């Protein structure tokens, strides 16, 4: 797809999208009635500007016009969803040359428009044999009308969308097509293509390193665990940020086996890893001036005669012993090794881990926000602000020391699961905190309800690539604030 900024549309456009907000609805309808010769009263009756509304009209010259409602004061996530939905629903009707009238809207919105249009090209039928795989959405030109040059916003929207489009298949692939080795291969190819270092440690090397919690979780699977370490060094970087993502490519629950009803959805239990992989690629492509470390401990949590058992006591990279009271609380075990490794070996200024960690966070926040846990107020506010900008909301939950009492063990330094019917998301965060070596700028994000959910674009639940845009926005804000402080 070729995308360009224009001050006036060319004579070759065959369809036009006009986004409208409730605040600017009347002026837009006045212009539209001149273009289409549709009576103003009829337009006022048909077009409300409500979020997601799509109305189609034709001009006197036969140009098809889509009027897209954005509601009142839409956020970036809502804009992306509106454009993705319009193009997805009408992709069989859309021509090769398409225009979008952004002349009355902020220039920065071009990023979200481009992102949404690109995402509409994703094909969910990854393994269907009776469908012809679609070609790219447009082989022609997308014209964006605006008085300013939109090239920087267009470039960012494309980079983020193309990264998300590479992350979607990872999230949606079933376990027989997605193993720890798949994630390792993805990381290595991405590093080669976009200029960041990748080192993958196999099971034997993990043993030598002392990543014993990761190995314990994976010992019941024939697909051995991998430990992925990525490093991007941006020009002029002065801060080091470490991201750690849970990469369980399938989670049976182990010996503490899950109910069968929704176990097939556990192919998505590597949503944190997907966010870290995607962020590494996007940041490298955007060439942000930051040193970014990505750590992905990846494994399957399967069941066989070698599987970790409830009651086992295992060791960890940090040297602490863990009583495993529930083998389905495995994500925090591999994150414990990932966090301790990142902090010891890279001395980061900021550490953020992401994981589809607990059903407890879904019962608390539903599918509309991820849980955020940190003792660093400034960092919490920065991430929350980034989430509000991208539409990937975060809600901060307490980290009071009283919750740590739930994890005391009689036989080890700590146990991985309290067994209590409440506050499990908080208890999981308190468990992870033990392995951060009291790092002053650590945040845990529980994305169990946001990484994989119901969408308007698939008949069932699907991956969302939650975290990629959030983390990129956070890193851009971090760089911007640092630059302002040095002026």
In the annotation, is 93 catalytic? no
Q: List the one residue out of 239, 238, 240, 262 whose CA is nearest residue 251.
A: 262
251 is in an annotated binding site: yes
The active-site residue, picked from 64, 145, 285, 332, is 332
Locate the DSSP E strands across 79-195.
98-101, 141-145
CA–CA distance, 145 with 143 (Å, rounded to integer): 6
The active-site residue, picked from 258, 320, 396, 461, is 258
269 is in an annotated binding site: yes
CA–CA distance, 293 with 291 (Å, rounded to integer): 7
In Å, how far are 106, 245, 392, 471 from 110, measured between CA atoms? Answer: 8, 30, 19, 20
3-state helix, strand, coil in the chain (%, to 5): 40, 20, 40
Contact assessment for residue 392 and residue 470, using Cβ atoms and an 8 Å cutoff: yes
In the annotation, is 332 catalytic? yes
Token match 């900008």: residue? 389
CA dihedral 37, 40, 44, 46 (to 10 degrees): -30
In Å, how far are 14, 17, 19, 90, 404 from 32, measured between CA atoms? Answer: 16, 12, 12, 21, 62
In Å, how far are 149, 316, 356, 460 from 80, measured between CA atoms? Answer: 20, 42, 24, 20
Residue 37 has φ and ψ, to the nearest 5°, of: 65, 15
Which residues make up each annotated binding site? 246, 251, 269, 328, 330
Please give the annotated binding residues for Mn(2+), written as ranges. Answer: 246, 251, 269, 328, 330
**Which residues are part of the catalytic machinery?**
258, 332
């Amino acid at each position: 797809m070729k995308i360009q900024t224009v001050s006036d549309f060319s004579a070759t456009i065959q369809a036009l999208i006009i986004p409208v907000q409730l605040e600017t609805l009347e002026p837009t309808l006045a212009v539209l009635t001149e273009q289409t010769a549709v009576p103003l009263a009829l337009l006022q009756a048909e077009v409300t500007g409500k979020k997601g509304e799509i109305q189609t009209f034709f001009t006197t010259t036969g140009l098809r016009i889509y009027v897209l409602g954005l509601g009142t004061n839409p956020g970036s996530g809502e804009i992306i969803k509106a454009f993705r939905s319009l193009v997805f629903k009408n992709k069989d009707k859309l021509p090769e040359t398409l225009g979008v009238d952004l002349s009355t809207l902020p220039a920065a919105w071009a990023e979200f428009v481009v992102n949404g249009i690109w995402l509409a090209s994703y094909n969910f039928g990854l393994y269907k044999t009776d469908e012809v795989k679609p070609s790219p959405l447009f082989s022609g030109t997308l014209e964006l009308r605006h008085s300013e040059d939109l090239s920087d916003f267009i470039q960012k929207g494309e980079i983020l969308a193309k990264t998300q489009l590479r992350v979607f298949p990872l999230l949606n692939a079933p376990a027989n097509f997605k193993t720890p080795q798949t994630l390792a291969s993805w990381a290595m190819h991405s590093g080669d293509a976009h200029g960041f270092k990748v080192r993958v440690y196999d099971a034997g090397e993990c043993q030598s390193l002392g990543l014993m919690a990761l190995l314990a979780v994976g010992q019941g699977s024939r697909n051995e665990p991998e430990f992925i370490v990525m490093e991007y060094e941006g020009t002029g970087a002065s801060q080091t940020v470490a991201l750690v993502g849970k990469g369980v490519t399938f989670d049976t629950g182990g010996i503490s086996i899950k109910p069968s009803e929704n176990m097939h959805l556990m192919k998505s239990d590597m949503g944190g890893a997907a966010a870290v992989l995607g962020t590494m690629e996007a940041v490298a492509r955007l060439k942000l001036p930051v040193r970014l470390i990505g750590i992905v401990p990846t494994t399957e949590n399967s069941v066989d005669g070698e599987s970790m058992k409830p009651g086992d006591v295992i060791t960890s990279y940090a040297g602490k012993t863990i009583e495993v009271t529930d083998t389905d609380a495995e994500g925090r075990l591999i994150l414990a090794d990932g966090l301790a490794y990142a902090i010891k070996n890279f001395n980061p200024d900021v550490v953020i881990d992401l994981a589809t960690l607990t059903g407890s966070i879904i019962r608390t926040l539903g599918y509309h926000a991820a849980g955020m846990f940190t003792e660093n107020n400034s960092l919490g506010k920065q991430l929350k602000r980034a989430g509000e900008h991208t539409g990937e909301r975060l809600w901060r939950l307490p980290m009071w020391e009283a919750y740590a009492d739930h994890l005391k063990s009689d036989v080890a330094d700590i146990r991985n699961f309290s067994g209590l019917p409440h506050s499990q998301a908080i208890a999981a965060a308190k468990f992870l905190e033990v392995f951060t070596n009291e790092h002053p700028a650590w945040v845990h994000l529980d994305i169990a309800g946001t990484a994989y959910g119901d969408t308007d674009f698939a008949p069932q639940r699907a991956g969302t690539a939650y975290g990629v845009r959030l983390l990129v926005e956070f890193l851009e804000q971090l760089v911007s604030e640092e630059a302002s402080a040095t002026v």
